[in-house]
Amino acid sequence: MEWCEYMECSRRLRYRPAAPIARFTLASVCARYKNEAMSEPDFDLIPLMTDLTSGRKFLKDVDAPIVDQITSRLKLRRDQFQALLDNNLERAKKAPAVGDAAPDFDLELVDGKGVRTGDTRQLSACLGKPIALIFGSYT
């Protein structure tokens, strides 16, 4: 999820920061993550990666040098990356769509210090007002 925060920063900067203040912000973000894999040129790849992982574009239609750049950054072989995208798309097909009934859940709550409580929260019991969900993990 930390990675997502970085993505959000990059998206808000519209991928190619032109203004000095935006470049400064971007540099801060990159420095925070201390990872050359997130250097500025890679920001150009974010729209493409968004399309690939959401199935709007396919790897076979991407120029080989670009694919090499992506797989190198991700530490994956091309076939591994293709398998990952295929798996993503299979999963995405099963995602409930806008207009569908939200699948119910009844899951254990952790407290503000991240400690298990034994209490649960059920989606269907919270209806009556909008519900906003974030799914993710630390890694």
The residues of the shown chain that bind other proteins, judged by CB under 8 A, are 1-8, 11-12, 33-35, 37-38, 46, 49-50, 53-54, 74-76, 84, 88, 91-92, 94-103, 105, 107-110, 112-116, 120-121, 123-124, 126-139
Task: Tell me the closest approach of the beta carbon of residue 6 to other proteins, in angstroms.
Answer: 8
Residue 59, classified by CB atoms within 10 Å of its CB into exposed (0-12), middle (13-18) or buried (19+), is middle
Between 23 and 57, CB nearer to other proteins: 57
CA dihedral (11, 15, 19, 24) positive or negative: positive
Between 20 and 114, CB nearer to other proteins: 114
3-state secondary structure 2-66: HHHHHHHHHHHCCCCCCCHHHHHHHHHHHHHHCCHHHCHHHHHHHHHHHHHHHCCCCHHHCCHHH
Between 78 and 121, CB nearer to other proteins: 121
Task: Tell me the closest approach of the beta carbon of residue 60 to other proteins, in angstroms.
Answer: 19
Between 3 and 24, CB nearer to other proteins: 3
